[in-house]
Amino acid sequence: MTLDKLEIGKDAKILAVGGEGALRRRLLDMGLTPNTKIMIRKVAPMGDPIEIHIRGYELTIRIEDAKKIGVEVLVS
C-alpha cells in the first residue's frame, strides 16, 4: 500500500521510499525514511496536498510524492 491510500488518523510504518534522484533524496531528507511511524492528519479540500505527522512534526506533501512511499498499516 502507498501513503496516498492511507486513511486519515491511521498509524503506519514506512516500508520503502521510491522515486529517483533529487525527489527521493528530498523525501529522505524530510525524514521520510524506512521504519518510521507516520500518520495522515489532514487532506486539503481538493484532495491535494496532504498533511502528515512524522517524527513529532507536521509535514505537507503532494499526492504524487505520497504515491512513491510504501507503507504498512499498524494494528492498534
- Domain extent, residue 16, equals 3-73
Backbone φ, ψ for residue 4 (5° rounding): -65, -20
We report the CATH number of the domain holding residue 15 as 2.30.30.90
Q: Tens of pLDDT along 27-66?
A: 999 999 999 999 999 999 998 999 999 999 999 999 999 9
- Separation of alpha carbons 16 and 57, rounded Å: 20
Mean pLDDT (whole number) for 11-17: 95
Are 21 and 12 within 8 A, CB to CB?
no
Total domains in the fold of the chain = 1
